Chains A and B, each alone.
Chain A
Amino acid sequence: MEILIALAIGVLFTVGVYLVLSKGLLRILLGTTLITHGVHLLLLTMSGLKTGASPLLGEKADSYVDPLPQALILTSIVISFGVSAFFIVLAYRAYRSAGMDDVEGTRGESHE
């Protein structure tokens, strides 16, 4: 199971990196969200995908899945949600006020 997920994470990273290296600001944004997806799946996978009950004590199971990475992922998700929201608004603002929609247009000297 881990192998399959690892492959999926690899694909997510590849596509993400490809998109981040492209020109359009919107594509870059999509790329970063894909990479973040990949890394959250990585957190889940690296702690092991052994079968066990959900980490709720009411389940009264013999074994539970590891609750720690789930908490880490939850934290990381809200952080990257906040940052993505900021990035989207920034891209919108850059498009509206500076007419930038691709990163090539952000080249050049700082004194123009």
Chain B
Amino acid sequence: MSNLLVLPILIPLCTAVLLIFLRGKLRLQRGISVVSSVLTVLISILLIAHVHKEGFLTLQMGGWAPPYGIVFAGDMFALLLVTAASIASLAILLYSISTIGEKREHYYYYTFYHFLLVGVFGSFLTGDIFNLFVFFEVMLISSYALLSLGGTRLQLKETSKYLLINIVSSTLFVAAVAYLYAAAGTLNMAHLSQRISEAGQGGVLNVIAVLFLIVFSLKAGLFLFFWLPGSYSAPPAAVRALFGALLTKVGLYAIIRTFTLLFVDNAGLTHSLILWMAAATMILGSLGAVAYKDIPRILNYNVIISVGFVVLGLAAGTRDSLDGTVFYLLHDILAKALLFILGGLIISAAGTDRLSGMGGMIRRYPLLGWMFFILALALMGIPPLSGFAGKLLIIRGALDAKLLTLSLIGLGSSFMVLYSLIKVFRQAFWGNEVEAERPRVSMKGPLAVAAGLLVLVAAMGIGAEALFAYVSQAGSVLASPELYIQAIMKE
């Protein structure tokens, strides 16, 4: 059973390699991609069921006992994220089949797509800090390729900026690993956690903790997000959806793992730093989401707001807020995938990404309009939908931790999310139809995909009670790192 843990990484990896050899055969490529994505979803659900019943799943690569070998750790938190990410990526795959265009498909689009998934799933599942770096790079290199694939002027410009930022942050990551190895003498995360708490987290370890915070913040778009709005608006809508739904979440996962497992002793210093970064992220993200008048940027700033909100839950650090963080991350992966798919559909229906060039689309695309409206409510956190439970838990946890200002900023950012999305809805769907040459686009396929995701988002909200059993199992590991250490370092 524990060997199955590696399948979410192995399936996309084998698919990606296989697809290299099938370059000309587009139908075959699409078919294999879909089959492998469905398979990943099924496997990850199977793994969740297993972990829910029997607890932690670990896999020692090559049979080397930790800390000497590389361990893959399947706790509930990682597996929930793998499942959400695989569902979102299946939806985005179906969306990209109908929108990405044959030219891109010919140049290994699906290969890069699956390599990106390898990186994402690998980062979620690994239990070794240097292995995490390698999976980060697998993910990033595929994202460079996907970002620049097509080679328009805008893509070339933005890829060079994105590339530079990520080279610098990866270099800092290696430096942080070097310092950590010098201070603790190990790379396995469970063993690191033991060593750090034995040494007591003073002086040097605090500095290393802050260095890791900087590295992961650059990846996740926490406060250091200056690269994000530009880079994420360059590629085609399907790639944008993939980035918005998955890439920043991997950085967030790394922040959460690092600061609930490794650097927990001196939480006062790091957590207050994280808190203020979260507050600044939410405020600046809200300003951006309100200020812009083109769809890609509004959606990108929405990604930034939710990054701040997730991290608020982490930094509040109570049991409630950690549960809420897990719940909100799950919701956010699915909802952001849906948001970018709907955003892409609106852009292709209107033929422009400027709000000023849109209007009155509700007559021709009623389904698209109402789905966008419901999603806006879900993202804000209106009760029957999926955003509510996570936000409620995070805010409650933050209030328990006496963080009144931060909670208010969090609530305020929710209103800004709603305002910015309703602004899009009002401009694009209400009012008079703008007279312009419009491409008549067929939307049946993408709309069906989006409807599937919307049903999931609604079901997550309605079935929050049932889902909570799984979420709190994930939260319990985050709240007490001993569980993680015991599971990895057994015998």
Answer yes or no: do A and B interact.
yes
- Within the complex, the shortest CB–CB distance from A47 to chain B, in Å, comes to 6
The reply to whether the CB of B265 lies closer than 8 angstroms to some CB of chain A is no
| B174 lies within 8 A of A32 (CB) | no
- Docked Cα-Cα span, A25 to B377, in Å, equals 44
| A46 lies within 8 A of B178 (CB) | yes
- Within the complex, the shortest CB–CB distance from B486 to chain A, in Å, comes to 25
| B134 lies within 8 A of A75 (CB) | yes
With an 8 Å Cβ cutoff, the count of chain B residues facing the other chain is 37
Chain B, range 117-153, C-beta contacts under 8 Å to A = 130, 133-134, 137, 141, 144-145, 148, 151, 153
Stretch at the interface among B48-56, B159-167, B323-331, B423-431: B159-167
The reply to whether the CB of B321 lies closer than 8 angstroms to some CB of chain A is no
Q: Taking chain B's interface residues, is the majority helix, strand, or loop, or is none over half, making it mixed?
A: helix
- Across the interface, A86 reaches (CB within 8 A) one of B141, B153, B175, B234, namely B141
The reply to whether the CB of B20 lies closer than 8 angstroms to some CB of chain A is no
* Known A-B contacts A32-B167, A36-B171, A110-B234; A91 and B160 likewise in contact (beta carbons under 8 Å): yes
- Docked Cα-Cα span, A16 to B161, in Å, equals 17
- Across the interface, B171 reaches (CB within 8 A) one of A39, A87, A103, namely A39
- Across the interface, A76 reaches (CB within 8 A) one of B156, B174, B181, namely B174
- Across the interface, A69 reaches (CB within 8 A) one of B134, B168, B181, namely B181
- Docked Cα-Cα span, A86 to B133, in Å, equals 19
* Known A-B contacts A43-B174, A79-B137, A110-B230; A94 and B160 likewise in contact (beta carbons under 8 Å): yes
- Across the interface, A110 reaches (CB within 8 A) one of B133, B148, B233, namely B233
- Docked Cα-Cα span, A94 to B133, in Å, equals 28
Chain A residues, CB < 8 A from B296: 110
Chain B residues, CB < 8 A from A87: 160, 163-164, 167
Chain A residues, CB < 8 A from B177: 43, 72
Report the interface size class on chain A. 35 or more
| A90 lies within 8 A of B159 (CB) | yes
* Known A-B contacts A90-B156, A98-B156; A82 and B134 likewise in contact (beta carbons under 8 Å): no
Q: Taking chain A's interface residues, is the majority helix, strand, or loop, or is none over half, making it mixed?
A: helix
Chain B, range 98-133, C-beta contacts under 8 Å to A = 130, 133
The reply to whether the CB of B1 lies closer than 8 angstroms to some CB of chain A is no
Chain A, residues 53-97, CB within 8 Å of chain B (1/0): the string is 000000000000000110010011001101100110011011001
| A86 lies within 8 A of B178 (CB) | no
Question: Which residue on chain A has the smallest CB distance to residue B230?
Answer: A110
Question: Which residue on chain A has the smallest CB distance to residue B154?
Answer: A110
Chain B residues, CB < 8 A from A79: 134, 137, 170
| A90 lies within 8 A of B141 (CB) | no
Chain B residues, CB < 8 A from A40: 174
Question: Which residue on chain A has the smallest CB distance to residue B153?
Answer: A98
Chain B residues, CB < 8 A from A94: 156-157, 160
- Within the complex, the shortest CB–CB distance from B398 to chain A, in Å, comes to 36
| B178 lies within 8 A of A83 (CB) | no
Chain A residues, CB < 8 A from B354: 111
- Docked Cα-Cα span, A90 to B234, in Å, equals 15
The reply to whether the CB of B182 lies closer than 8 angstroms to some CB of chain A is yes
Chain B residues, CB < 8 A from A90: 144, 148, 156, 159-160, 163
- Docked Cα-Cα span, A68 to B182, in Å, equals 12
- Within the complex, the shortest CB–CB distance from B142 to chain A, in Å, comes to 11
The reply to whether the CB of B179 lies closer than 8 angstroms to some CB of chain A is yes
The reply to whether the CB of A5 lies closer than 8 angstroms to some CB of chain B is no
- Docked Cα-Cα span, A35 to B156, in Å, equals 23
- Within the complex, the shortest CB–CB distance from B331 to chain A, in Å, comes to 29
| Residues of A in contact with B (beta carbons under 8 Å apart) | 20, 25, 28, 32, 35-36, 39-40, 42-43, 45-48, 68-69, 72, 75-76, 79-80, 82-83, 86-87, 90-91, 93-94, 97-98, 100, 103, 106, 110-111
